[in-house]
Amino acid sequence: MTAPRTPEPGTKLPAVGTTIFTVMSALATEHGAVNLGQGFPDFGCDPKLLDAVTAAMAAGHNQYPPMTGVPLLRERIAAKIEALYGRHYDAGSEITVTAGATQAIITAILALVRPGDEVIVLEPCYDSYVPNIELAGGVVVRVPLVPGSFRPDFGRIAAALSPRTRAVLINTPHNPSGTVWTAEEMRQLEELLAPTDVFVISDEVYEHMVYDGALHQSVARFPGLAARSLIVSSFGKTYHVTGWKVGYVAAPAVLTAEFRKVHQFNVFTVNTPMQHALAHYMADAAPYVDLPAFYQRKRDLFAEGLARTRLRLLPSEGSYFQCVDISAVSDLSEADFCQWLTREIGVAAIPLSAFYGDGFDQRVVRFCYAKRDETLRDALTRLAKL
C-alpha cells in the first residue's frame, strides 16, 4: 500500500494570499501599536440590541428562519428604504437577508455573472470584489477612480463598457477613500447605462455614514439605476456589530428571484435570533439617524490632531475612513510606510495600494476612525511626531 497522500489541489485564485488586513493587524499586535488599520469599531453596541438577542433566544427563535429572512426584518428594511430613499421594495419578493454584505456581494455576482462576462470595478475597491468575479468565471475590467480625488471618471467608465459588460460594481460612501457620490454623479451613471443591459451591484454598507449635511445617494433614488441594481447593505457597520455578519439585498423581483436561487444553496438561512433582534431594534430610527453626528465628531477629533502633523488630509465625506497623503513625511512606498508606522510610531494603517490590482502607489494610506476617543487620542499622541 502506498503512503497516504493529499492530492495537489492547484488553486482557483492564484493571486490571493494573506490579506493586508491580517498582516497589519498581526504586526500591530506584535508591536503594541494602536490598530487603525482594519475597519471595525473598538467600542460596544447599544445594550438594547444585545438584550433583544437574548430575548429572541429565550423566546425560542433558535431554528431555521425562512430562507429569505425573518418577515418582520424584511418589512422593516423595506420601510426604511422607502422612508429614506423614496422607493418601495416589496418585503416578500424584493428584500433578502444575507450573512453580511460579503455574502450578499458574492451571491449577487454568482447569480448574474456567467463565464466570460465582463464586470467593471472602480479601483481602489473592496478586496472581495475581484476574487468573487474570478470565481464566477467573469473577466475583471478595472477602471481607476481619479487619483487624488477618487471621483468616478465617466469618460473612462464609458470607454470600458462593451457588449460583454454584464455588471458594474459601485461603492458609495467609498472604502477606502471616504468619498461620497453626488446626485449628479449618480445621474451620470444612470444616463450612461440607460441604453445598455448592464446590471449594477451597489455596495452601500456605509449608507448611514455621510457627513456635513450631505445625503447618501442610494441607487434606490434613481429609477433608471434602481431598475437594474442590487443594493447591498450591512447591519454590522450601522449598529457597530461587524462580527454579527447580517446584511441584506434589495432588488427588483426578477433580480431577487435569481439572487435567491444562489442564496438558498450557499447560505440558505441567516442567524435567527440576530434577525429578530435587529427587527425589534429597527423600530427606532434614532440609531441610524444619529449615526452621522456620532461619526462626524470622531472624524473631526481625529482630523484636528492629524492637521498638526505633516500628513496631508484628504476629504472624508463619508464611511469611517480617513486617508492621508504621506509624501511630506516619508519617501517610503505606502506599504513600507505602513510597516514603519506600525513598528516605529506605534500606529497601524492600510496602504491604498492594497486596493488596486496592480499595487498602484500614490503615497496615500488609510486610517479607520471608528474607535473610542481614547484610542484616537492615543494614536494622535504617537502620530504627533510626524
Ligand X SMILES: Cc1ncc(COP(=O)(O)O)c(C=O)c1O
175 binds ligand X (CB under 6 A): yes
Do residues 312 and 107 touch, judged by C-beta distance below 8 A? no
Q: How far apart are CA 179 and CA 194, in angstroms?
A: 24
CB of 257 to ligand X, least distance (A): 23
- Cβ distance to ligand X smaller for residue 101 or 225: 101
Distance of closest approach, residue 313 Cβ to ligand X, in angstroms = 20
Near ligand X in 6-45, by CB under 6 A: 39
User: Rounded to 5 degrees, what are φ and ψ at 227?
Assistant: -65, -20
Q: By C-beta, is 231 or 329 nearer to ligand X?
A: 231
Distance, CA of 229 to CA of 201 (rounded, Å): 6
Looking at beta carbons only, is 329 or 368 nearer to ligand X?
Answer: 368
Please report whether residue 171 would count as binding ligand X according to CB under 6 A.
yes
Asked if 253 and 90 count as a contact pair (C-beta separation under 8 A), the reply is: yes
Q: Which of 25, 172, 217, 242 binds ligand X (CB under 6 A)?
A: 242
Site for ligand X in 216-235 (CB under 6 A): 234
Q: Which is nearer to ligand X, 317 or 329 (CB)?
A: 317
* Of the residues 37, 78, 111, 126, which one makes contact with ligand X according to CB under 6 A: 126
Verify binding: residue 100, ligand X, rule CB under 6 A: yes
Q: Which is nearer to ligand X, 236 or 351 (CB)?
A: 236
Q: Is 102 in the site for ligand X (CB under 6 A)?
A: yes
Q: Are 124 and 355 in contact (CB under 8 A)?
A: yes
* Single-letter code of the amino acid located at 185: E
For every residue of 105-157, DSSP letters joined together read: HHHHHHHHPPTT-EEEEEES--TTHHHHHHHTT-EEEEEEPPTTT----HHHH
Establish if 236 lies at the interface with ligand X (CB under 6 A).
yes
Cα gap 152→199, rounded to integer Å: 17
Min CB(223)–ligand X separation in Å: 24
Which helix (H) or strand (E) segment holds residue 342: the answer is none
Between CA 189 and CA 227 the distance in angstroms is 13
Please say which residue, 205 or 279, places its beta carbon nearer to ligand X: 205
Q: Is there binding between residue 203 and ligand X (CB under 6 A)?
A: yes
Question: What does each C-alpha distance from 110 to 66, 138, 160, 231, 386 come to in angstroms?
Answer: 21, 9, 21, 15, 45
Considering CB under 6 A, how many residues would be counted as binding ligand X? Answer: 14
Type of residue at 116: G
34 membership: H or E segment, kind and range: strand 34-35
Query: Quick check: 351 binds ligand X (CB under 6 A)?
Result: no
Q: Given the complex with ligand X, which of 97 and 380 has the nearer CB atom?
A: 97
| Whether residue 252 has a cis bond before it, omega within 30° of 0 | no
Q: Tell the smallest beta-carbon distance from residue 237 to ligand X (Å).
A: 7
Q: Based on CB atoms, which residue is closest to ligand X, 101 or 112?
A: 101
CB 19 within 8 A of CB 27: no
Decide: is 316 part of the binding site for ligand X (CB under 6 A). Answer: no
- By three-state DSSP, how is residue 320 classified? coil
Interacting residues toward ligand X by CB under 6 A: 39, 100-102, 126, 171, 175, 203, 205, 234, 236, 242, 245, 247
